[in-house]
Amino acid sequence: MEHTTEHDIDNESQINEEYKNKILNGSLEIQNNNKLQSIAFLSKLDIQKLTITYCEHIKPILNSKTVKELTLNYCDVENVNELNLQNLEVLNLYWNRISSIDSCMFKNLKELNLSQNNAKDISFLQGFYKVTKLQLQANKISDITVLTSLNLRELDISKNPISDITSLQQLSKLTKLNISSCQISSLETLKSLENLEELDISYFEGTWNYKLEKQTKLIKLSIKYVKNVNFSFLLQFPNLKELDLSGNLAIDLSIIQQMTQLTKLIMQRNQLKSISQFNQLINLEHLDLQDNLNIDIAPLCNMLLLKFLNLRGCSIQHLQNLKNLNLEELDISENKSINICGLQYLTGLKILQSEYNELKNVQILKYLVNLKELRLNNNEQLDITPLQYLIQLTQLILGECKLYDVSALSPLSNLEYLDISGNTIISVAPLKEMKHLTELYLDNNILSDFSELYNHQYFDQFEMDNQNEPSAEELSLSNKINSITDIITLLREVKYKRTTLKTKITLCKHKNNQVQQNSTLCIFSFTKNIAMLFKALNNQETQQ
């Protein structure tokens, strides 16, 4: 999160010092700053990794010999040829408007991400001889013959109107390939790619008339939503560990039963009812069965190596069959008739998701003392009293639960992320001792007093910022405050420094009497109604 003002931009030495203090282990991140139009001033700073996201007015002009990795994502950039980064090795340009790049400007580049851009003719790639990892997802590319001149090991050309992939047969060093959601009619070319370790051929609509008998090195395979396929060919991959077959119907599970080497299996929306054959998958650690309605999960009771289990949207009635498992992460969301009795035995759980389940009594959750993350949003009659025992929690989501009192949360001093938006909460006093809190969401409540947060002993600096963009660390206050007098009092209490219309307040975390430059506690992000109150306040004080 950045606080750059127009005054800062005019004062080069001041802004250099500001950003210098934000460099951590050679890395600098700039997010959500539409006031920042130039990054040329960063040339004087010792930065190895520079990440800039959601800065839509930025001009990518930078001279640096130290930057080795640059990310310019979601910045609406059209041209990066004015970058002079002699030692740049990694360039991420995800979701911009770039159609070409001058290879002469990036002679040492090893990794290039141009996904979600306007690239159509990619002949400009011919000069990128050192690039081994190339991502071109979701562009307008139809001809990929130029790729034969490159020394690629990883390639993603998914979601492009590509129909001919015969040129890929010359890329014999490829270890990772994603050609999902293209317009390919034949996969014969893949026979020559014997070094493939990861392959994604999801949404293939052509004729399945070949075998992958030479891909014996495959470790990870994704074949989602394909038609008319005999999956018996899967038995040709003795080293396959991860398999995604989501969206495929009428799969012969006796084939899957024989793949005992699998450690990760994803089968979402496969209309599975029985998984008794999975009993043989004794090495499974990760199993995703989301959206298989009315599936019988009894066979899971013997999968003792399972660490991750997703049963979201499966119409599960109870969890007794899971009590002997050693799960660390479990998703049972969207099972409205579920009885969570049995969860108390899963004491090793670190992450639990139980959203949209109409839960009321969650008393047994108090036994899950190792939980780090808990999502219980959209359970509208929830009693959160038992949550007071989960003192190891660092992330808690309780949005849309019709809560009016959060006193039970006061013992949760380790919380770093808390979402209690969409409730009827009146007071945030129970939160004032949460010393580690970095993200707090309070949207759509009926709060009128935030003084408990302002007077927190760990708050040291209050600063107004008129950026309009959301921060990665934010406290959203779109609450029903009806009195402008309350707002005026609130702002004067924090002694804010006003220069323009204010839409945000920054509170920096205080420790040992030293302001920590990189530990912003939270941002108060106001909705249009609150912003209007600020404008009225601005006008009132100007007249005075």
Which residues of the chain are under the pLDDT cut of 70?
1-15, 209-213, 448-544
Residue 435 DSSP label: T
What fold is seen in the domain 102-240?
A: 3.80.10
CB 241 within 8 A of CB 261: yes
411 Cβ contact list (under 8 Å, min separation 6): 388, 389, 391
Q: What is the CA radius of gyration of the chain?
A: 27
Do the beta carbons of residue 34 and residue 20 sit within 8 Å? no
Q: What is the pLDDT of residue 450?
A: 63
* Ramachandran angles phi, psi of 440, nearest 5°: -140, 125
Nearest by Cα to 483 from 446, 438, 429: 446
- Find the helix or strand (DSSP H, E) in which 65 lies: none
Six-digit token pair at 425? Answer: 């909460």
- Residues 157 and 294: their CA atoms lie apart, in Å, by 37
Residue 207's pLDDT is: 79
Query: In whole angstroms, what is the distance from residue 51 CA to residue 456 CA?
Result: 32
Look at the pTM and tell me if it is higher than 0.85: no
Domain regions of the chain by residue span: 1-98, 102-240, 448-544
pLDDT attached to residue 36: 86
Distance CA 27, CA 349 (A): 33
What pLDDT does 208 receive?
77
Reported as a single tens digit per residue, the pLDDT across 376-430 is 999 999 999 999 999 999 999 999 999 999 999 999 999 999 999 999 998 888 9
What interhelical angle do 528-543 and 484-493 show, nearest 10? 70
Torsion, Cα 182 186 188 193, to 10 degrees, reads 0
d(CA 504, CA 120): 41
Q: 112 - beta bridge partners?
A: 91, 134
| Per-residue pLDDT at 536 | 45
Tell the burial category of 479 from Cβ atoms under 10 Å away from its Cβ (0-12, 13-18, 19+).
buried
